[in-house]
Amino acid sequence: MTPDTGSTNNYPTQGDLAREQLRRRGVPYFADVQREIGDRLGRLGHGPRKAFALACAHRLLCWHESLPDAQQRAFTLSWRPVLDEMWRGITSDSQEAQEHARQALDAFHAGPYDHNNGQDGPDDANEDAAAACIYATECYLTGDVQSARWSAEHAIDLAFRLAGEELQLDPNDFVWDPAAEPMPLVKEAMHAAVQGELRRQISDLELLEGEGINVGVLQHLRRGAAWQGLKTDQ
């Protein structure tokens, strides 16, 4: 959709238009929330940051495990024991958990699923749940901010995908006017899956910022689902 001249001046990109349409409806723009999440992750200590990344990966893996058997991927499921071991070791800085995580990453990088250099290969590591698990494992070993951000971003990417699959909208079917009916991107951003995931990430950050890591916090991080239709309490 090509904007008219007046709209271009104030809202030159689809992102600008989406932000304004969301603002008028009292809904935060997802990219602004993601930026805030990244900034707050940078201020967290290593332990809470690892727990946040694990929580994001856990939600995605629970979702994947809830799929029909035919849709589940063995590579994605293979990260369950790794995540479980990291949850057990996060409060004690367990060397066993560290070694388990390191071995899992080494096996990934040595195997057919890691083909960042351009060679052909299976795309299983690009599946959102698997990718979030990989980044959470990297964060667990290093405390790296970017790995935690990528784990969180894959959770939001999946929420958008679920919203898109449900709404089935043409991304180009909209009027370039902030007062018009919400554009497809805005409708997807307002979907319960997306807003639920954004709220959950902010809530988890607030909890970790306020209390750090303890048994109650870790139980909370592992509990509940991020979006409608995913019912699990693992």
Query: Which residues form the domain of 128?
Result: 25-173+192-222
The answer to whether position 39 is within a domain reads yes
Note the pLDDT tens digit of each residue in 86-117.
999 998 877 888 898 999 998 888 866 665 65
Q: Is residue 92 part of a domain?
A: yes
Burial 161-192 (b: 16+ CB within 10 A, else e): ebbbeeeeeeeeebebbbeeebbbbbbbbbbe
Q: Is residue 8 in some structural domain?
A: no
**pTM metric for this prediction:** 0.88
Q: Residue 2 is encoded by which pair of tokens?
A: 């090509």
CA torsion sign for 132, 138, 142, 145 is: negative
pLDDT of residue 122: 55
Residues 173-178, mean pLDDT to the nearest whole number = 95
CATH of the domain at 119: 1.20.1590.10
Amino acid at 31: A
Is 55 inside a domain boundary? Answer: yes
pLDDT at 124: 65
As a whole number of angstroms, the distance between CA 79 and CA 205 comes to: 24
Average of per-residue pLDDT across 45-60:
96
Q: Are 217 and 207 in contact (CB under 8 A)?
A: yes
Q: For residue 100, is it within any domain?
A: yes
Q: What is the mean pLDDT of residues 119-132?
A: 74
Inside any domain, residue 5: no
Q: Is residue 232 part of a domain?
A: no
Helices within the chain (DSSP H only): 5-10, 14-24, 30-43, 46-65, 74-77, 80-89, 95-110, 128-142, 145-167, 184-189, 192-211, 215-222
**Is residue 3 assigned to a domain?**
no
pLDDT at 116: 60
What's the total number of domains in the chain? Answer: 1
